[in-house]
Structures are given as C-alpha cells and as structure tokens.
Amino acid sequence: MNYNWNWGIFFESSPEGTGTYADMLLSGLAWTIVTALCSWVIAFLLGSLIGVLRTLPNRAANAVGTTYVELFRNIPLLVQMFLWYFVLPEVLPESWGSWLKQLPNAPFYTAVVCLGFFTASRVAEQVRAGIQSLPRGQKMAGTALGLTVAQTYRHVLLPNAYRIILPPLTSEFLNNLKNTSVALTIGLLELTARARAMQEFSFQVFEAFTAATVLYVLINIVVIFISSWIERRVAIPGNR
Amino acid sequence: MSAPLNTSTAPTASTGPMIALSNVSKWYGDFKVLTNCTTAVNKGEVVVVCGPSGSGKSTLIKCVNALEPFQEGQIVVDGTPVRDKRTNLPKLRARVGMVFQHFELFPHLSIADNLTLAQTMVLGRNKDAALSTGMALLDRVGLSAHAKKFPGQLSGGQQQRVAIARALAMNPIVMLFDEPTSALDPEMVGEVLDVMVQLAREGMTMMCVTHEMGFARKVANRVIFMDKGEIVEDATKDDFFGHARSERAQNFLSKILQH
Amino acid sequence: MLANFDFSVITGSLSYLFLDGMRFTLTLTALAAIGGIALGTLIAMMRLSGLPVIPLVAKTYVNLFRSLPLVLVIFWFYFLVPYLGQWVTGADRPMTVGAFTSSLVTFTLFEAAYFSEIMRAGIQSIPKGQAAAAQALGMTYWTSMRTVILPQVFRNMTPILLTQTIVLFQDTSLVYVLSITDFLGAASKVAQRDGRLVEMYLFAAVVYFAVCFVASLAVRRLQKKIAIIR
C-alpha cells in the first residue's frame, strides 16, 4: 500500500487556527455526546408516552401511537433531517420560519429535535413490548387495589417494564448516538464531520478515520459499562 | 393466632346482600362466556364457586369488581351498581379485596412497599399509618420477618399470604379469591388455606373460586357450581355435598373427590 | 408556504427520480441484502463454531461495525476500497472504483454485521436435539447445517431478515454524503437545481414512506402466515 502514514498529524495545528487536529476531533466528540444526550431526553420521554398510548384499552390512543410509530419509522432519518431543516421553516408562518432560520446553532437544535422524534418511535416500540411482556395480572392487581390507570402505570407497570427493556434501550441509546453523524449533512460539526474535515485539510484520510473509529468504539464501551452498572443497581433481589 | 385478620371497620351501606348479581352475561366477540348468572353473597357469608376449567368462574368473579367488563345484567356491590357509568370504580375496588391465582405481588417493590402502596396512593393514608397497618397484617399471616425482602425471594405460599395481607390492608368489606391455591406446590396449599379459614371464621364476607373442597366443607355457607358459563347449582354446603341435583355437578364432584 | 406548492417540479423529473435514482437505490438494496445475508450467515456460523480464535474474530467484526455510524463507514470504504483493490489485484496504483461498487462493498460488509446477529439468534433458537438428530443419522457438520438447521432458520427468520432489509433500503439514502444519485440524491439535485426544496423533499418522504409502509405490512402478513404453519 503506497500511502504515506503520518500519525504525528494530530499534533499539527489545523488550518482553522483554533488548535491542533486532535482538538478538532475532540470538539467533534463533544458535539456528538451533547447532541446524543439532549435528543435522548426527548426520545425517552416522548417514546415512553407513545409506547404507553399503544398499550391503553382505547382506540383513539392506540391510533395516535401507531400512526406516530409508523410515520417516523418508515421515513429514512436523513430525509427527516432535511424535512426539519429545509422544509419546516418554509411551511410555517413566515415570521416563525425566519426566526428558525436565524437561530444560532440551528443545526444543533434541528438535530436534537429530529433525532429525539425519530428515536422516540423506537423507544416507544420497546416500552410497548416491555409493558406487554408483563403478566396481565399485574395490571389487574393494581386496578383491583383501586389504583387509577395512571397510578398503575407509574408505580407498577413502568418500573418493571423499564427494567426488562434496559438492554434494548441501551442499544437504542447507542443507535441514537451513532445517528448524530447523519446531522453532518445539515452542518453539525460532530465527530464524523470533523474527521472528514481533517481528511480534507490534511489528506491523512486513514489517520483521521482511525481516530474517529477509536473514539466511537470507546464511547460504546463506556455506555455499555454504564448500562450494566445501572442494570446491577436496579436489579431486584430474588428475580432471575 | 389471637388478633383478627378481619380489620374491616368500614361501614357498609345497605341491608341487602353484599354482592348481588342479576342476569350477568358476557361475550368475547361472538363467544358467550357467561349466561344469565344470578346469585348473591350476603354479609358474613362464605360462598365457594367451583366448576371445570373454562366454566367461566374466574371470569365471573372478575366481573364483580369490574376487572372484566360484561355486556348484560347488573352487579351491585354494597349498594353500588358496578356497570353504572357514574360509579367511581377505583373507589369501589379499593373496598373489595382481591387475591389472584398468580399472587401478582409487584416484583420491584419490597414486601413492605407492596403492602403500603395502595394504602397511600388510594386511601391517602400517611406512610407510618400504612406501614403499621401492613406490618400488623404481615404478622397475622406469620411473615413479619420478611418485610424487607422482595417477592422473588419468597416461596409461592408465602407470596400468596402476603397478597392476602395486601388486600386486607385496604380494610375491604368483602374479599374475592380467584383460585388462590391452584398455582401453588401441593405442600404450600395448607398454609394459604389456614389463613383463609381463619379469615372466614372471623366473619369476613368471601367469594372464593377454588377446587379445594376441604375448604368448602369447613367454612363455606353456600357452594355455586358453574359449567359452560352458567350457574348450574347454587346450594347450601350440606345440600351440595349431600345430594347435588344436577348430573354435571355430581360428575364434577366424583372426579374431584376421587383423589 | 404550501400555497405555492409546485407539482410540475415533481412531474417534470419523475423519470430522472425513478429510472436513475430509485433504480440505483433498489439495486443497491437488493445486492447488499443478498451479500449481507450470505456473509452474515457465515459470520454467525463462525461465531457459534466452537473452534479456537474464529468466534472471537467474528465477534470483533460484528461489534466493531455495530459501534460505528454508517456515515463514517461509508467514508472509510470510499477511501479504502481503491487501496483494497490495488492490494487484491497487485496493481501499482490505487484502483479507480465507481460509486456503485464502493457503496455495494460498504453496505454488504456493514449490514453483514447486523444480519449475522439475526442469523445467530435464529440458529440458537433451533432446539439442540435437531443437530443431535442429524449427527445421529451420520451427517457431517456442513450437511446438517445445509439440509437441517439453516433451512429452518431461514424459514423462521425471513420476516426479521426482510424487516432488516427495509432498514437497509432506508439506510442507502446515506450515500447522499458521497453525492451519489440514488433516489434521495436525485431528489436533492433537482431540489437544488430548481430551488424547490419543499416539493422535492416532501415528495421523497412520501415515496420512502409508501414503499416502507407497504413492505412492512407485507412482512407482517407473511409473519402471520409463518406463525400459522408452525
């Protein structure tokens, strides 16, 4: 392979003049993590709500939940990103649209909302599956004790469902984290975008991508570590 | 055991029967699971409901506190019509204790929390009062040493005794038992039945779906026999065991008493 | 605003969108699915082989690809494939590789990691007695895999493999980052050329939705059928 390796490149200053290439990648990593965390908050809350709607004995609630999931699951994330970023400001009333366009950090806010809504549909499916995997008698027992539907969900069904779906939720968290890279198409300067920029400036393709790869693998390991720590913490004595 | 299990202090409303079912019918789609079921459980009475599996007895008892909806007829619990849209069901259910076949303790809560959750959430009792009520009942079912454990750490028989204590902690005016011993290993049936017998002797109004004919002989006032969604026989204990009238009930009895 | 929504932008570019764009997308999806399932099956078998080292290699492959964003992998292979081609053919310069070949290699290798997890679960769900029975009949490992185990796995897992293929179909839109004319790329090029982003992106969304929704309904029907046969 006639490729000129230069691992020292990370310590050379980038043409942006804000530090070395290593700094550039690390700032990308920070944006990746912040975007992933913020969008996860939306995804988790909205996804839980939608997932619960799909388990209620109420046609309208089911329909809302199902429509949401089908809509957000059947359109590619990249297309959704474009809809939020390019289309939404145009179809809103003019004053809102121009406010959106002038928003500082618009790519960041767009990415957070887009990923949040997208991942919510996947979280919803997990939450629904978790609730439906519980014995039917659990809901009945809550009801028989006089708990309202909301109380039964809050104190009986959800605490158990979340424990069951912790592993698939971790996968969804990681998917969401990886999906932040799609936002490079709307100008978010996250890790993959920064690796790509480093490649364009320095021509050291493989060093840049190797560094990004290592960073992604590290975040994965850290997240899985945290997840198994949580799993141990919330484990119920005597179960499984 | 000296202190009572039956701590019901709640006044009951009517002088009529505690539970009155009239012409209750229920369908699952096209399939009729209950047909014109009519009976009553009076205050202080213990009524045992038996019948082959699939006869609708579990469905019937779940209709009493509206865990299962039914399409025709009416059930009145202590003067409150269950199928009436104006009825506050959570409030009604809080006064009707229920024990399930599979215990249905909440696995993520300790035994103490299982006992206090509904007391605080539904009855609005403060934590301390709820805990002392719960602990007293836990003691009555002989499990006070296990308050800090989780359901998964107890045997089936122990879990079912906790489930009974959990229902009693709400000071119910009536207790419903839905096959409380049929998911238990044989050696644990006795400890649960003992608690139920004691409760019956203390005057609790009880409706029990069970195959335990020994229990029925010991404490039941009446026995209801169901088959194919219908109440085939509704007789006093002595009549039922002495000379059951229907062939179906005789058949059932001979099968169940053979072993 | 939607008041001046211009349908003629869409109708005027239909042949470009579908004959150029959608054809690329569907071809890439189909070939990458076939390649990915074949390679994924092999990786799953490696992982369950019980041989030394091989399972670890397979596991590392799967975990590495599963921890990387597809966008990064697309970039990786876009630059790596010419060098790989040079290495394979022994040429003295990096090979010139077309956009299609590069994407096909990328998606096949990337999706193989995901397909292998499905196949692994499928193989593990076949009762151990089946392999034992095949062995008792004197079959070799390969014969029993080919004639007893894998046919059952494919029958059971077809709905999930198809669902993953729908995901793959959506994922191919990411070749946009290489300015390739797939369906979304075509829509985007028209959008830029005519300055009609609203029309083109909404239309792209509707088309993707229609295809994926209908396909997933079909998969669900198939799933019910399989469930009945079993």
- Indicate which CATH number applies to the domain containing C176: 1.10.3720.10
Q: How many alpha carbons lie under 13 Å from residue A236 in its C-beta half-sphere? A: 21
What confidence score (pLDDT) does residue B3 get?
A: 67
Report the pLDDT averaged over residues C26-37: 97
A168, amino acid identity: P
pLDDT tens for chain A, residues 1 to 240: 568 888 988 988 888 878 899 999 999 999 999 999 999 999 999 999 999 999 999 999 999 999 999 999 999 999 999 999 999 998 888 888 888 888 889 999 999 999 999 999 999 999 999 999 999 999 999 999 999 999 999 999 999 999 999 999 999 999 999 999 999 999 999 999 999 999 999 889 999 999 999 999 999 999 999 999 999 999 998 875
- A and C touching (3 or more beta-carbon pairs closer than 8 Å): yes
C65/A contact by beta carbon, under 8 A: no
Tell me, what's the pLDDT at B11? Answer: 64
The distance in angstroms from the start CA to the end CA of chain B is: 31
Chains with 3 or more CB pairs under 8 A to chain C: A
Quick check: B170 and A146 CB within 8 A? yes
From the list B95, B100, B117, the residue facing A137 with the nearest CB is B100
Q: Is C142 exposed, middle or buried (0-12, 13-18, 19+ CB in 10 A)?
A: exposed
Residue A82: inside a domain: yes
Outline where DSSP puts E strands in chain A: none
Does B177 touch chain A if contact means CB atoms closer than 8 Å? no
**Which residues are CB-neighbours of B216 under 8 A, at least 6 positions away?**
B48, B50, B210, B223, B237, B241
Interface of C with A in 2-41 (CB under 8 A): 2
Q: What is the DSSP string of C120-155?
A: HHHHHHS-HHHHHHHHHTT--HHHHIIIIIHHHHHH
Cα distance between residue A86 and residue B162, in whole Å? 59
- Range C210-228 average pLDDT: 92
B122:A140 CB<8 A = no
**A238: how many CB neighbours lie within 10 A of its CB?**
12
State how far residue A140 is from chain B, nearest Cα, in angstroms: 7
Q: How far apart are CA A161 and CA A142, in angstroms?
A: 15
| B90/A146 touch (CB, cutoff 8 Å), yes or no | yes
Q: How far is CA C159 from the centre of its chain?
A: 14
Which ipTM score applies to this complex? 0.93
pLDDT averaged per 10 residues in sequence order, chain B, 259 residues: 63 78 94 95 96 93 94 94 92 94 94 96 95 96 96 96 96 96 95 96 96 93 95 93 85 78
The residue whose two tokens read 């909302």 is: A113
B40: β partners: B20
Task: Identify the residue whose tokens are 């979304």.
Answer: C184
Task: Report domain extents, chain B.
Answer: 19-257
pTM of this structure: 0.89
Residue B182's φ and ψ, nearest 5 degrees, are -80, -10
Res. C2 pLDDT band, cuts 50 70 90: low
Is A145's CB within 8 Å of B107's CB? no
Please calculate the CA angle B87-B221-B171 and round it to the nearest 5 degrees: 40
Q: How far is CA A237 from the centre of its chain?
A: 31
Task: Evaluate whether residue A6 is within a structural domain.
Answer: no
CB distance from C174 to chain A under 8 Å?
A: yes
What subunits touch chain A, counting only 3 or more CB pairs under 8 A?
B, C
- Looking at residue C230, its pLDDT comes to 61
3-state SS, one letter per residue, for chain B: CCCCCCCCCCCCCCCCCCEEEEEEEEEECCEEEEEEEEEEECCCCEEEEECCCCCCHHHHHHHHCCCCCCCEEEEEECCEECCCCCCCHHHHHHCEEEECCCCCCCCCCCHHHHHHHHHHHCCCCCHHHHHHHHHHHHHHCCCHHHCCCCHHHCCHHHHHHHHHHHHHCCCCCEEEEECCCCCCCHHHHHHHHHHHHHHHHCCCCEEEECCCHHHHHHHCCEEEEEECCEEEEEEEHHHHHHHCCCHHHHHHHHHHHCC
C32 DSSP assignment: H
Confirm whether C67 is domain-assigned: yes
pLDDT tens by residue, C72-128: 999 999 999 888 888 888 888 888 888 899 999 999 999 999 999 999 999 999 998
Q: Does residue A237 form part of some domain?
A: no
* Correct CATH for B19-257 of 3.40.50.300, 3.60.10.10, 2.40.50.100, 3.40.640.10: 3.40.50.300
Query: The sheet that has B206-209: what strands, in order across it?
Result: B96-99, B174-178, B206-209, B46-50, B222-227, B230-236
The CATH number covering residue A97 comes to 1.10.3720.10
Is C134 inside any structural domain?
yes
CB contacts, 8 Å: A146 with chain B:
90-95, 118, 122-123, 170
Of all residues in chain C, the one with the smallest CA distance to A93 is: C1
What number of C-beta contacts closer than 8 Å exist between A and C? 109
Closest Cβ opposite residue A181 in set C72, C188, C208 = C72
Q: Nearest 5°: phi and psi at B183?
A: -100, 10
CB-facing half-sphere around the CA of A85: CA atoms within 13 A: 23
Find the residue in B nearest to A142 (Cα).
Answer: B118
pLDDT of amino acid A85? 95
Q: Do C69 and A216 touch (CB under 8 A)?
A: yes
The confidence score (pLDDT) of residue A14 equals: 86
Q: Does residue A195 form part of some domain? A: no
What whole-number distance in Å separates Cα of residue B76 and Cα of residue B93?
12
Domain count, chain C: 1
CB contact under 8 A, A220 and C67: yes
Alpha-carbon gap, residue A45 to A35, rounded angstroms = 16
Q: Is the dihedral of CA B131, B136, B139, B145 positive or negative?
A: positive
What six digits make up the tokens of A88?
Answer: 């939404």
Q: Give B165's contacts in chain A (Cβ within 8 Å).
A: none
Total of domains in chain A? 1
Q: Whole domain around residue C130: which residue ranges?
A: 23-183
A214 is a domain residue: no
**Cβ contact C213–A199 (<8 Å):** no
Pick the residue from chain B with its C-alpha nearest to A155: B117
Q: Give which of C72, C190, C208 to mutate to test A binding, by max A Cβ within 10 Å.
A: C72
Q: What is the mean pLDDT of residues C135-148?
A: 89
